[in-house]
Structure 1
């Protein structure tokens, strides 16, 4: 058996033992608050939908460039207060937007508001070559460093955030990208030892951060064969630091087609076979009435 076949066997074993878990994503852009709230409230009543996600952008990256986009963490806190069961998060927070100690405080607050339902998604931030994403940094006076700086900052941020959530005494941190004096977070998150950490990204450098810090990994989309190759690389990085790679859940975002649900079901089947059992179904706008129930009946229930 060659290396590729062994990698596929291993990821398939993970998929079979873990089983698929389904959620939805509603991009908080080019849509009204009431529409998102309607979908989340409906999804909250449907057990087959286990988790729900927003994304983290400050300006539109699709559609009308002057259209509305809600700030992700503020909206997530509002939705947390109006749901009871769904696990929830941002897919994924841009580490470039907020200092890590501030982000730890925000996330702890949302975990408390939600009663311990936060899934903490984080990543290095938008790719430098994405002009629609790049403009939001310039428009908000935020620095936009190169990819090496972004990934190095992400690794330190994950360390800082975890320590703030778990340590009971103030601490100092003197890193290459972040420096803190007397850092402390109170109150702590509800979840112990801390909310699950999902890191999104596929670069080699980011996967090293995933191996060290993540409970879940989200592959940001594209070719499923590339996802399998990236997953095998993550396994290798885990082995290098002595971590069992099966302790990191593999996740994919898949677009939902209202007109051709069979295409979505086929994509789900391929993802599960490839060892990605944590499926996030991205719902396009406008949202039809009872869309969450439709997703459960037409897509998720086929895998029950």
Structure 2
């Protein structure tokens, strides 16, 4: 998936402190708006913002439901925590969503929440999930990316004997609709994760914020691609930018800065509650003013 000279825009609806009907309304509306090309959920089991005891919907289950209720949007989880599910199980879940959606899945994955985030950390203890250090998490992610890709593409059963994952007679059927497999998006900013992105990803995503740091991370990713003999331009740069309904100007400024820095896959994070006609507002107030003007002929 080479970098496009034209940015693509999507929305992110974090499924916490909201109802299924709220998210479905926004996604159905966005599905009818050509300027919005992709839509995303997150992967947390408890809220990481707002009321700690508030509702949160499971990302992949919700994604499958939304895949069945939309027709055009590309869709994904930004990003799946590799700590939550064994890779063979995750490969099956993702292949199923690709089938349900008719081949619209972008497969987003990362190493999992960092230990310094207490609201994210508590969901591991609450669900009986182990929480190892960052090095362990990155090593596990590397193995998972290898296993998932093989399950999506290989036509015979195989064994895998890794340090973190061991499979005997592993085989994936049915395969995803997209061949050789759905685009892989790796999210994260640490150097070890960037190395994995350079090796495995079609897209790399990073949260916006300190643009100088974002640009430096992108340059480091360029270096890792070059070391692997990969053209850095073949890896699409993606950025998540928070949206303010009351102050769209700063959001437009952030979009322009990101595009100028080479990020052409823009994910606009929508805060809850979602206003009526919010997808149309995003298209009119944020996307249309941010698209580069078409060259004049004459």
Give the match for residue 201 of structure 1: 188
- Pairing partner for 2:257 from 262, 270, 287: 270
Whole-angstrom CA distance in 1 between matches of 2:264 and 2:71? 24
1:129 and 2:116 matched: yes
Alignment correspondent of 1:111: 98
Number of aligned residue pairs: give it: 290
**Counterpart position of 1:164:** 151
Distance 2:205 2:185 in 1: 7
Deviation, 1:303, is: 2.9
How do 1:270-289 residues align onto structure 2 when only pairs under 5 Å count? 270-289=257-276
Question: Quick one: which of 2, 20, 26 aligns to 1:39?
Answer: 26
- Pick aligned residue for 1:189 from 170, 173, 176: 176
Matched, 1:99 2:77: no
In 1, Cα distance between the equivalents of 2:103 and 2:5?
A: 22
Deviations 1:204-244 (A, max 9, x none): 11100000000000013330110110011011111111011
CA contact (8 A) 2:68 2:100 kept: yes
2:244 pairs with 1:246 = no
The one-character-per-residue Cα deviations of 1:235-270 (angstroms, maximum 9, x if unpaired) are 111111101111110011011111111111000000
TM-score with structure 2 setting the length: 0.96
CA–CA distance in 1 between the matches of 2:55 and 2:67?
21
Helix, strand or coil: the match of 1:254? strand
- Runs of 4 or more off by more than 6 Å in structure 1? none
Secondary structure at the aligned position of 2:271 is classed as coil
Establish whether residue 222 from structure 1 lines up as the match of residue 216 from structure 2: no
User: For 1:63-101, what per-residue CA distance to the aligned partner results, in whole angstroms no more than 9, with x for missing partners?
Assistant: 100000000000000000000000000000000000000
Q: Secondary structure at the match of 2:37?
A: strand
Map Cα deviations across residues 89-142 of structure 1 (whole Å, 9 max, x no partner). 000000000000000000000000000000000000000110100000000000
Structure 1 Cα separation of the partners of residues 48 and 208 of structure 2: 16
| Equivalent in the alignment of 1:179 | 166
Pick from 74, 79, 99: which aligns with 2:61?
74
Q: Corresponding residue for 2:284? A: 297
Preserved contact between residue 74 and residue 106 of structure 2 (Cα < 8 Å): yes
Shift of 1:176: 1.2
For structure 2, the residue ranges without an aligned partner over 5 or more in a row are: 292-298
What is the TM-score normalised by the length of structure 1?
0.94
Which runs of 5 or more residues in structure 1 are unaligned? 1-13
- How far apart are 1:294 and its partner, in Å? 0.6
Structure 2 counterpart of 1:120: 107
Q: Does 1:232 align with 2:219?
A: yes
